[in-house]
Copies of this chain bind each other. A is one copy, B any other.
């Protein structure tokens, strides 16, 4: 047997042994935490076999609330090796599949400048989890959750990396842009009708003015909510799942967090 063949054999054995132990290690639980008189019901997922310090990642929901889709994404992030925590941005873990309701709920949070404070409350919960490495924290979010993780970064939170998937983009103001710590990755459908090219330009300009490290990926023929396999079921113009963009954006986030946070 040659050395490369031995190496391949060992690698195959290692993969088999890992596969045998990769099952059923992800623990999930709902964590209740108070926020201004409300009870928020966040969702935690982690690999029980990993011993700390382990990087942590916030996974922030779409305007529908912390639903099954986001729980699934949170578990997937845990499988990458992180302590993953999905904040409850609405309280009582409430969710909806009614666009008008979702718009009202998320609109209220936007209007009251509650994105960053509510995300911060969840970040505090994540930081308290055993084994979480406080200095290696990332945040990712979808749609409304994309706005949320940007707001958290703009507030000066101690994050290493932020990823928005079809995020509701908006620029940091003059004060905010000076206090942004993480690198920011913007993963956007090229045909997303909910974010105007002018807004994207404003975001880029403001991040540049703050000397923020960022990059942006535009996916062809891709609209809003492209990561969500249930997107089409909402029957909203400009909202659709795109399998290719979903896979590519997931891989992009995975690689980015591996570089920024380790694993």
Q: How many copies does the complex hold?
A: 2
**CB <8 Å contact, A7 and B3:** no
Q: Does A133 contact B (CB under 8 A)?
A: no
Q: Does A24 contact B (CB under 8 A)?
A: no
Q: Does A234 contact B (CB under 8 A)?
A: no
**CB <8 Å contact, A7 and B11:** no
**CB <8 Å contact, B207 and A220:** yes
**CB <8 Å contact, A190 and B204:** yes
**CB <8 Å contact, A18 and B7:** yes
**CB <8 Å contact, A10 and B17:** yes
**CB <8 Å contact, B204 and A213:** no
How far is B14's CA from A207's CA once the two chains are assembled, in angstroms? 43
Interface SS, A side: helix
A6 to chain B, nearest CB (A): 5
How far is B185's CA from A219's CA once the two chains are assembled, in angstroms? 10
Which residues does chain B contribute within 8 Å of A255, judged by CB atoms?
Answer: 251, 255
Most buried by B among A4, A211, A255: A4
Which residues does chain B contribute within 8 Å of A11, judged by CB atoms?
Answer: 10-11, 14, 18
Which residues does chain B contribute within 8 Å of A248, judged by CB atoms?
Answer: 215
Which residues does chain B contribute within 8 Å of A216, judged by CB atoms?
Answer: 190, 217-218
